[in-house]
Amino acid sequence: MRELSLHILDIVQNSIAAGASLVELHVVEDLAGDWLVIEIADDGKGIPQQQLGQVTDPFFTSRTTRPVGLGLALFSKAAEQAEGELLIDSQVGIGTKVRAVFRYSHIDRVPLGDIAGTVLAIISLNPQVDVVYRHSFCESAFSIDTRRIKHELDAVEISHPAVASWLESFLRQGIDDLYRGD
């Protein structure tokens, strides 16, 4: 994949398919330490211990719809190509945490891509799932929590077109401000 945001979308969709009602996405861009860290945690059904060692194998999948599972394998390869690693911690009945680490300045690090569009798609297309998105860049931080937004919306659906339009503006402005240090 040409953007890390597409890997994020794939992993979050796996979380939702595993029954997650809460997905937390944390992106840390640490220029001083020369690291990019992407963490995705969910409260889904979890991965059995005997399968954890196999989930980055492209020829292993727990799905019955196709015989391969490329998402975690490709994400792992992208991290390794940038002097990083992919770590997966999971407990059945509790959830899964995927943590990808990349050397920020590495020439082979795939760009983050349209993270605002990715988060918007996750929220808009999965209104039944709560999403917490935190993004830090150097000393600045931006976050959004759909539980708070849903509470304020009361009876209006978070997937309503007017809400989606506001969410897109809020996400894009928040990320722009993050990079400017506002």
Q: pLDDT > 70: what percent of the chain?
A: 90
Mean of the per-residue pLDDT values for the chain?
91
**Predicted local confidence at residue 66, as pLDDT:** 42
Identify the residue with better confidence: 110 or 155.
110
pTM tops 0.85, yes or no: yes
Residue 52's Cβ-count burial label (10 Å; 0-12, 13-18, 19+) is middle
Range 77-89 average pLDDT: 95
Sign for the CA dihedral angle at 106, 109, 115, 117 comes to positive
Predicted confidence (pLDDT) at residue 104 exceeds the cutoff of 80: yes
CA dihedral sign of residues 26, 132, 112, 81? positive
Answer yes or no: is pLDDT of 78 > 60: yes
Q: What is the C-alpha separation between 31 and 137, in angstroms, rounded?
A: 8
Domain ranges of the chain: 4-180
- For 27-71, the pLDDT digits (tens) are 999 999 999 999 999 999 998 887 777 666 655 555 445 444 468
| DSSP letters for 113-162 | --HHHHHHHHHHH-TTSEEEEEEEETTEEEEEEHHHHHHHHTTS-TTSHH
The 130-137 sheet, strands edge to edge:
85-91, 95-103, 35-42, 22-30, 130-137, 140-145
For domain 4-180, the CATH architecture is: 2-Layer Sandwich (3.30)
Residues 156-171, mean pLDDT to the nearest whole number: 95
